[in-house]
Amino acid sequence: MGARNRFAEVLQAHGGLMSRIAASYEADPALRDDLLQEIALALWRALPGWRGEAGLRTFVARIAHNRGASHVLGEQRQPRPGALPEDLPDPGIAPEQHAHARQEGARLQAAVRALPLALRQAVTLALEGFSHAEIADALGIRVNAVDVRLSRARQALREQLGESA
Partner 1 sequence: MSTHDEWSDWAAQWRTQPVVDIERLRRRTLAKRWRMLAMVVFETVTAIGALVQTGWLFAHPGLGLRWKLFATGGTVLVVVMWSITLWLRRGTWRAAGSRVAELLRLDARRARAGIRLAQAQLWGFAALLVGVAVLAWPSLQPSAWMHDAALRRLLLVQIGANAPIVLGGVIFCLWYIRRQRRRLARIAQLKAELGMV
Contact residues toward partner 1 (CB under 8 A) are 4, 7-8, 11-12, 15-16, 18-20, 23, 36-37, 40-46, 49-50, 59, 62-63, 65-67, 69-70, 72-73, 85, 87-90, 93, 101-102, 104-105, 108-109, 112, 116-118, 121, 126-129, 139-140, 145, 154, 157-158
- The C-alpha R_g of the chain, in whole angstroms, comes to 16
CB of 81 to partner 1, least distance (A): 19
10 Å CB burial of residue 94 (0-12, 13-18, 19+) is: exposed
Amino acid at position 46, single letter:
A
CB of 165 to partner 1, least distance (A): 13
CB of 96 to partner 1, least distance (A): 13
Cα–chain-centroid distance for residue 115? 13
- Give the DSSP per-residue string, 131-143: -HHHHHHHHT--H
